Amino acid sequence: MDIPQVMPVIKESRPLPYYDNPPVVETVLGVQFDRLSGFKNGHLGAFWMSLGADEWPVVEDAPPLPPQFERFDDTARWAAGIHLQLTQDPACRLQIKNKKADRMIQLQNNRLHFNWLGEAGGGYPRYETVRAGFASALRGFVAFVEQQHVGCFRPNQWEVTYVNQIPQGSIWNTPSDWGFFKPLAGFAAVQNLVRGESFGGEWHFVIPDQKGRLHVQWQHGMRPAAEESRNEVVRLTFTARGPIADSDDHQQSVFEGVDLGREIIVSTFKELMSDEANTFWGLQHADNQI
């Protein structure tokens, strides 16, 4: 898909950290939008064909993602839970992968996501490359919506996710080493009583001026035995999302949101890591993209 438009400039409020060898294995840039009244499941297939089946040959159905809204009233922190969505059409999410299996476009009637999939092999291509892929997918979808006359594209939420995979034998060997992640600095043991074995948890932060939230999730688990001689792995996921105000330039508002999310994630990641961990991954202080 070739949408010949000028890329919006990436605006940064500060120089961002840069890592020579970041542990990121997946990056997702996404937008949530108001449901399109005329959009049917058949349009998912039509959009796939508009991308070019030669370049994007792999498609799979997946359950739809639930709506997400970052709110900031008195009950917002406790308002998680079930969202019911009434529609006459069974909801579906289409996952479309490229030939190399290192890019994926996900589409449902209220979500568009663009994934870089590092676990397919290959190094992280950096934010500008992923952003360009997302921009191409977004512009192509907006053009498709207009051509099909299925409704008006109105984004209401931006979202950015970085998934980091930190295997045993890298910066840590036992849970007593998990202090490389500052929130777990006191996890290891209670003197002469118990020793830490595993942990799973979440942290939630408000982005200043209520521009959104940052959600951090720590998961400790096992890889399939065939993958590595050391099978334990920590999966550390950073997700930033926030509301999009109505404006005359919807797409620009989306780009500003994902740029903010990326800035919040990479800056917070650096601050939550120990000096040893930052050195291990090759931290550089440069005006570059992670």
Residues 6+ apart with CB under 8 A from 268: 205, 214, 216, 238
For residue 161, give the H/E element and its range. Answer: strand 155-167
Confidence at residue 230, expressed as pLDDT on a 0 to 100 scale = 63
What is the pLDDT at residue 248? 76
For residue 277, what are the contacts with CB-CB under 8 A and spacing of at least 6?
171, 180, 181
Check residue 123 and give its pLDDT. 83
2: pLDDT strictly greater than 70:
no
Bridge partners (DSSP) of residue 155 are 33
pLDDT digits (tens, 9 = 90+) for 166-175: 999 999 999 9
Residue 227 DSSP symbol = T
3-state percent breakdown (helix, strand, coil) of the chain, nearest 5: 30, 30, 40
Instruction: Please determine, for residue 81, whether its predicted confidence score (pLDDT) is greater than 50.
Output: no
Mean pLDDT over 258-275 rounds to 96
Q: What is the pLDDT of residue 201?
A: 93
Q: Which of 41, 18, 153, 30 is nearest to 92 (CA)?
A: 41
CA separation, residue 8 to residues 40, 93, 135, 161, 203 (Å)? 31, 28, 9, 20, 32
| Residue 130 dihedral angles phi and psi, to the nearest 5° | -65, -40
Report angle CA 265, 268, 269 to the nearest 5 degrees.
80
Q: For 86-141, what is each residue's pLDDT tens digit?
A: 445 567 999 999 999 999 999 999 999 999 999 766 788 999 999 999 999 999 99
Model confidence pLDDT, tens digit, residues 175-204: 989 999 999 987 666 777 777 788 899 999
Percent of the chain having pLDDT more than 70?
A: 83
**Dihedral sign, CA of 191, 193, 198, 201?**
negative
pLDDT digits (tens, 9 = 90+) for 216-262: 999 999 877 655 556 899 999 999 999 998 777 889 999 999 999 99
pTM beyond 0.85: the answer is yes
